Structure 1
Amino acid sequence: MNDPKSWLRKNPQVRTIRAAASDLNGQPRGKRVPARFADKVVEDGTRFPLSVLNLDIWGEDIDDSPLVFETGDRDGVLWPTERGFVPMPWLEAPTALLPIWMYREDGRPFEGDPRHALASVLKRYRKKGLTPVVAIELEFFLIDDSGKSLQVPLSPRSQKRRKAAEVMSIRALDAFDIFFTDLYDACEDMDIPADTAISEAGLGQFELNLMHQPDALHAADDAWLFKMLVRGLARRHGFAASFMAKPYEDYPGSGMHVHFSVLDEDGNNIFDDGGPKGTDTMRHAVAGLMGAMHDSTLIFAPHLNSYDRLVPENHAPCGISWAYENRTSAIRIPGGSPKGRRIEHRVAGGDVNPYLLLATLLGAALIGIEDGVEPPAPITGNAYAQELPLIPGSWGAAMDAFEASTVMPRILPEGLIRNLLLTKRQELHFMSELSPAEQVEIYLDTV
């Protein structure tokens, strides 16, 4: 963490700051403050209603929410996170973002803040002397949304559109080299550990990996900030970027794959048995993930458009399974050195809230470890061709499963579960009144 006050002194060019927290949809909510008054935010925190972290995708209050009229729409107090200030290179004027998180007036963490949900899960790991090591892969689309239909942007280099999937194409990366060069520079400025970028199977689709690190809160911050950065920087370059799950009907959607291992107090990977199979503890973690997968689909697929991605043979898992080195499975155990033995969870779309995603995955894995659950045998071959238990196939069914779950209350706070369900049911109601084009319009720039 940088010291916020000294960071501002070292960066006198910054004219304004944004103090922002993540709501349940992963949207940044907060305030713009002149830099000369930023010390007050650092020292005294800032205030806004608790209900602000529980708005729908349009930024509207949730009907019948206990956070609004029932309790007088009372304030929470928001304090800087450990992250400190980060620059916002996508804006024209020199600006800094101060990530904040919400507490109640009496100092208790606000249970509706998704960052606190992840922090609570990590506290349980620490009590056992364990530390998750997390890496995140994010897929996104570069899109020209200036016309009536979405299409690939013109290449800044050739002024041509390449209307074809180009898996791992150097040419596709080079076509947007100026954008990616600026993106890597911005990631370095923001201390986001951006690693390898590749082109993917969709039109103008790319994937960028964030390096693994033994601080899951920092990893979730990185993903949250990265999504803001990519969307904002793309607009500076004259096109859009989107993490929506599936903008094109005929091409695969975007996922957010999570890799994780767990270290003990001596720094040993507790999934490493010295060979390719992994330890009993790893299998228990896999079983915990599988046991929670059906009920937690609403976390992995939180929007109406999310379910367009979750269809067979489209590089997105529909069945609940695990396997070694098999990308058709929901949970994959990658090969490589036993020291790096890890679990890859492949269900979530690019449109998720990274704090809720990591809280759910790490919480489910811990339940499996604590309960000593054994998974079924790993599958081999094409998962889509096998009879497997399925995750919910629709948004409404995912909400019902989430609401009826007995495992989700072991992972997430009761208040957050209630608030998220109220949010999603309200969104379901109003999304049904919109045309497909109107639905795409709201998702394109938000998720």
Structure 2
Amino acid sequence: MSSNNDKEFDLFITDLNGNLRGKRMPANSVGKVMEEGVKLPRSVIGFDFWGDDVLDNGLVFETGDSDGICMPVHDSPVDVPWAESPRAQILATMFNPDGSRFGADPRQVLSAVVDRFKAKGLTPVVATELEFYLMDGKSEETQRPRPPVLVEGHGRRLSETDCYSIDEMDGLSAFFTEVREVCDAQGVPADTIISELGPGQFEINLNHVPDPMLAGDQAIMFKRLVRGIARKHGYAATFMAKPYAKKSGNGFHVHFSLLNEEGINVFDNGGDEGTDLLKHAVAGLMHTMADSMLTFAPHMNSYRRFMVGAHAPTCASWGYENRTVAIRIPESPPVARRIEHRVAGADANPYLVLAAILAGALYGIDNKLMPPAAITGDAYAETNQDLVLPNKWDDATSIFNNSDVLKEYLGEEFVRVFTAAKRQEQRKLHERISDVEYESYLGFL
């Protein structure tokens, strides 16, 4: 809840890249905004990463750059405690002017998939795990990552991997304490905090909720608050997929199960293997994984996570209690039988990751697909080329754009707008001459 001392508030939507776009408004307009929403051009949803119009997406000249209506997704604003002056925030989602679902809004894309589950009497229960790097506060200024200094650790810089270290978290206790406090205040169900493989890399798990849109909202708010609180404490935080070339990348793992109308987990058959419905979902995820790669790895840097030895899945594989596979069935009591999807990077848009995962599972359920035998060893040794995931940005974009399954389950408008944004970003980056090209060729050719 927001306090009465706020002078202004931010209303923002999430564009297809997961970047927040919106307006800063005076506090006395909150009531009107909660009731009527705020107008923004629908083309804002389809901006490229740097906030430029994408003229090929069909939302600019073809529509007269018409407005959509951004409606709040929660009942009231929440405070932004890391702001220098009193401020609140409102997360919103965009509709068409007539109030219908806007098919390119990432939250609406997810909502449409969830509605298809509801039509089957099924409710997805979702939990997310997001990894991030905490860096020296000057990293954003220099635009190069550098591990942070433990303010409460005698000035020691976190330069080495120290996985599962409690001492690392002790040295950053003020930061993590405030993260927990703000999560509680904003309704973000933070659970376990883990020191991960990279220097200054951490993972915070969010508890499961029986509402995928709420899980997406919480992930968006979590990423925003981590970055804001890090700056307040003199650090910088990044969810970039691969900030250090030779260190672990930032992953975004998703756990989910399905409840029927009686609240029973339909993946639970009383044993370890799970039901046929679970296996249908696994098979659908495997079938659609390559098509969906662009939602799991949406940026140029994203594909650095999928190099050999980088601890990220490189093929569409599955197994029981196996962390080398893309789709893991964790060991758990049967009543908690679930699927863990391990492909996405933390740089991806949470709504789109959840939408693509649930769409893949639903495709498998609809078509009663069955997966191949579960992998019991090293999934990185998989040699079946039909299962290998695209590891180049351009290739993933083409596969995504040509996917009839994604057009059916996620919508043609979304596929068109997201593809156009990615292709514009690729053109811009391919036009730039890199430092390594100058260093290699300028004085020798």
User: Into which bin does the TM-score normalised by the smaller protein fall?
Assistant: over 0.9
- In structure 2, the partner of 1:328 is 324
Deviation at 1:437, TM superposition (A): 7.9
Asked if 1:264 corresponds to 2:256, the answer is no
Is 1:410 equivalent to 2:408 in the alignment?
yes
Aligned match for 2:37, one of 31, 45, 69: 45
How far has the Cα of 1:386 moved from its partner? 2.3
What is the aligned partner in structure 1 of residue 86 from structure 2?
A: 94
Give the SS at the match of 1:240: strand
Task: Give the letter aligned to residue 178 of structure 1.
Answer: A
Q: 2:150 aligns with which of 152, 155, 158?
A: 155
Q: Which residue of 2 aligns with 1:372?
A: 368
Q: Tell me, what secondary structure is at the counterpart of 2:364?
A: helix
The residue aligned with 2:307 is 311
Q: Which blocks of at least 5 consecutive residues in structure 2 are unaligned?
A: 437-445
Q: How does 1:196-235 map to 2 (within 5 A)?
A: 196-235=192-231
Find the aligned partners of 1:255 and 1:90 in 2 and give their Cα distance: 25
TM-score, structure 2 as length reference: 0.94
Normalised to the residue count of structure 1, the TM-score between the two structures is 0.94
Alpha carbons of structure 1 residues 83 and 322: separation in structure 2 relative to 1, 3 Å: farther
- Deviation digits for residues 148-197 of structure 1, max 9, x if unmatched? 74211111112220210111001111121111011101101111000000
Q: Choose which of 23, 32, 48 in structure 2 pairs with 1:31.
A: 23
Residue by residue over 1:90-134, the C-alpha shift from the partner in whole angstroms, topping out at 9 and shown as x without a partner, is 212221111111111212111110000111111111111111110
Find the counterpart in structure 2 of residue 4 from structure 1.
none
2 CA distance for matches of 1:39 and 1:156?
42
Residue-by-residue CA offset, 1:224-282 (whole Å, 9 max, x unaligned): 11011111111111121000100001111000000000001111100001011000000
Letter aligned with residue 150 of structure 2: S
Deviation (angstroms), 1:411 = 1.9
**What residue number does 2:69 align with?**
77
The separation in 1 between residues aligned to 2:231 and 2:74, in whole angstroms, is 29
Matched, 1:356 2:352: yes
Out of 125, 134, 142, the residue aligned to residue 133 of structure 1 is 125
Aligned partners of 1:124, 1:148: CA distance in 2, in Å?
A: 43
Matching residue's letter, 1:311: M
Aligned equivalent of 1:113: 105
> Structure 1: how far apart are the matches of 2:232 and 2:369?
49
Backbone CA RMSD of aligned residues:
1.4
Deviation, structure 1 residue 84 = 3.4
Report SS of the residue matched to 2:56.
Answer: coil
Aligned to 2:208, what secondary structure does the other structure show?
strand
Instruction: Specify the alignment match of 2:440 in structure 1.
Output: none
Is 1:60 the equivalent of 2:58?
Answer: no
**What letter corresponds to residue 162 of structure 2 in structure 1?**
E
1:250 is the counterpart of 2:242: no
- Is 1:165 the counterpart of 2:157? The answer is no
Letter in 1 for 2:320: Y
Percent of paired sites with the same residue = 48
Helix, strand or coil at the partner of 1:101: strand
Pick the aligned partner of 2:116 from 110, 124, 127: 124
Partner of 1:3: none
SS at match of 2:373: coil
Find the residue that maps to 2:182 and give its secondary structure.
helix
Q: Shift of residue 289 of structure 1?
A: 0.4
Unaligned 5+ segments in structure 1 are 1-6, 439-447
User: Partner letter of residue 156 of structure 1?
Assistant: V
